[in-house]
Structure 1
Amino acid sequence: MTTTERPTGSRPSAPPRLAHPSRREEGLAVALVALAAGLLLNTLLGPLVLDVLDYPVSATIENQLIGLELVTVVLVAPSCLVAAGLALRGHRAAGPLAIGPAAYTAYMFVQYVVGPRHTTYGAGVLLHLGLFVLGLATAIAAWGLTTHSDLPTPVAHRRAHAVVLGVLAAFVLSRYAGLVLGSPLTINGFPPSSQPSPRSTGRSSCWTSAS
């Protein structure tokens, strides 16, 4: 009686299973998809495409808005979708990746609301306000899902990042140093009582990002 010997060897290992997303991760994914959709809708209605939304700003600021919309389409909205996909897979990188586009949205759209000199507040302002709230809430949720182990950065790198962030924060806050030091309040070099129109200066009063 003969026996057939089976070839010995290790069986191929099965691919690792993806972690099942928690409810918080699923909620983050939904928020990120909604954020990407809202950003793309704003770009569609803005000066880059349909030019339906009215921005009471100068031509210079409007050109900068077009540049920001290009950044939104090329970088921010895709980052939201990538982070949403990672969240649905239960990947630990979803939280850190989502913080960037969400914080960007919150920072930019609060200026869309309070920066231009609106004479009326229509649907466009409501859209911008909604995107600001959604961006802020998404950033907070993403931060809550991020743990220290998700950011394995060496101590030297953390110190360098802290220095860079400190310099950037000082740059943004420097325009408000006059209020702290007690000097007269000026906006773009003009006292509030003699503010020229945005068209004459080529700038809008509250747009830190465009200064």
Structure 2
Amino acid sequence: MTIISTPGLHGGPPATGLRRPVLPAAAVAALGAGIALTALLGPLVSDLMRYRTSPTTLNQLLGSDAAGLFVIAPLAVVAAVLVFRRPVAGLLLASGIGAFAVYTYLQVIVGQEYLRLPGNVERFFPLLLAVFVLAEATFVLAWRAVPTDLPPVSRRLELAAGGALLAVVVFLVFGQHLRPMLLAWSDPASLTEYASSPTPFWLVKLMDLGIVVPIAAITGIGLLRRAAWARRVAYPLLTAYALLGVSVTAMGVVMSLHADPDAAPGLTVGFLVFTAIFAGLAAALYRPLLRRPTADPGERHASG
């Protein structure tokens, strides 16, 4: 009789008797290709796809596309390779990229000023829909393939990650969204971003305050209380938030370069710091998963 077993955390397939996670690797690779293609077709490169939005929001979309083309798409390829070389790290990275892309491309699709502003983005809806579906598939396929027995993390890292997530809650509510909402209620004409493109303005408020903030708060409290589920959620969450930080920082840079009236260099610096913190925390979490195993990572055969 031949017994085949594989190590679960560092090399080979993720668990005994399970096949290599080909579908998550294919999904995240296809997602990266879709993100790159969207950026190439848009105003960042070829301008074949023209967004129906105001100049201010267009600057934000240019920054998002730049982040997608030069950071997110290459990282998706890295995740696809890691799925086969370091399965757990690759799967967790893929799930974080999927979560980021769901958030981003929902805004790209829904946040256009259709029929009100010029453009042709609706003709590219099949492509944007495909990217969105691939993002959903990547998250679900990767997350369900992640084993539950992840390596323990230090209490210091748990406290740092939990504190950072709660800091994000405070930053988004009071530093990012409260003042624009008050202006939108009291003097909307004074806020160029809102007066020119109200749809993406409220969509971002809804998603940040209705999705990002609650998940960050719940997971942050869970980490501070040493909840096992929170440690598992922290991997894709910190990954997605770091990627969001990259994207929003790129938006701020483009807005400043184009002398956008709604450019806020202080917020751009804040998001740059946010990105560095979350990238560092994510790197600390992933480091044990990327170490080479001490034992042979290939299949072990024992016959009897």
The number of equivalent residue pairs is 187
Match of 2:164 in 1: 164
Q: Which has the larger radius of gyration?
A: 1
Aligned to 1:87: 83
TM-score (norm 2): 0.51
Shifted more, 196-205 versus 123-132: the winner is 196-205
Normalised by the size of structure 1, how large is the TM-score?
0.70
Note the alpha carbon deviations across 1:39-76, whole angstroms, 9 max, x for none: 11101111111111121222222222222222112211
Give the structure 2 partner of residue 57 of structure 1: 53
Amino acid at match of 2:168: L
Deviation at 1:102, TM superposition (A): 1.5
Question: What secondary structure sits across from 2:129 in the alignment?
Answer: helix
Q: Does 1:19 align with 2:12?
A: yes
Match of 2:109 in 1: 113
1:129 maps to a residue whose letter is L
- The answer for unaligned runs of 5 or more in structure 1 is 1-17, 178-185
Bigger helix share: 2
SS of the counterpart of 1:53? coil
Contact 1:48 1:69 in 2 (8 A): yes
Aligned to 1:14: none
Provide the rounded CA distance (Å) in 2 between the counterparts of 1:35 and 1:106.
Answer: 11
Q: Do structure 1's residue 71 and structure 2's residue 67 form an aligned pair?
A: yes
**Cα offsets for 1:4-27 (capped at 9, x unmatched):** xxxxxxxxxxxxxx6257556100
Which residue identity does 1:130 align to in structure 2? A
In the alignment, structure 1 residue 144 sits paired with structure 2 residue 144: yes
Residue 130 (structure 1) shift: 2.7
Distance change (3 Å), C-alpha of 1:58 and 1:207: farther
Contact 1:31 1:138 in 2 (8 A): yes
> In 2, distance between residues paired with 1:35 and 1:188?
37
Q: Distance in 1 between matches of 2:76 and 2:181?
A: 34
Higher relative contact order (CA 8 A, sep 6+): 2
1:96 partner amino acid? L
SS in 1 for 2:135: helix
Question: Residue 117 of structure 1: CA displacement?
Answer: 1.5
- Residue 43 of structure 2 aligns with which residue? 47
**Residue segments in structure 2 that go unaligned for 5+ positions in a row:** 1-10, 206-247, 252-266, 268-304
Query: How much does 1:197 deviate?
Result: 8.4
Mapped to 2, the partners of 1:173 and 1:123 lie a distance apart of: 35
Check whether the contact 2:13–2:19 (CA below 8 A) recurs between aligned residues. Answer: no
**Equivalents in 1 of 2:62, 2:143: separation in Å?**
29
Check if 1:189 corresponds to 2:183.
yes
Q: Is the 8 A contact 2:52 2:121 kept in 1?
A: no
Q: Who is 2:298 aligned against?
A: none
SS of residue matched to 1:153: coil
Residues 168 and 197 (structure 1 numbering): CA distance in 2 closer, same or farther, change over 3 Å?
A: closer
Q: Whole-Å Cα distance in 2 between the matches of residues 93 and 40 of structure 1? A: 23
Q: Relative to 1, partners in 2 of residues 1:46 and 1:171: Cα closer, same or farther, differing over 3 Å? A: same
Go from structure 1 to structure 2 and tell me whether the alpha carbon gap of 1:31 and 1:74 turns closer, same or farther (over 3 Å shift). same
Residue number in structure 2 paired with 1:97: 93
SS of the equivalent of 1:189 reads helix
The answer as to whether partners of 2:113 and 2:197 remain within 8 angstroms in 1 is no
CA drift at 1:140: 2.5
Distance in 1 between the 2:151 and 2:166 partners? 19
Q: Partners in 1 of 2:46 and 2:194 — Cα distance?
A: 22
Change (3 A) 1:34 1:117: same
Indicate how the Cα distance of structure 1 residues 140 and 163 shifts in structure 2: closer, same or farther if over 3 A, else same. Answer: farther
Cα distance in 1, alignment partners of residues 181 and 130 from structure 2: 27
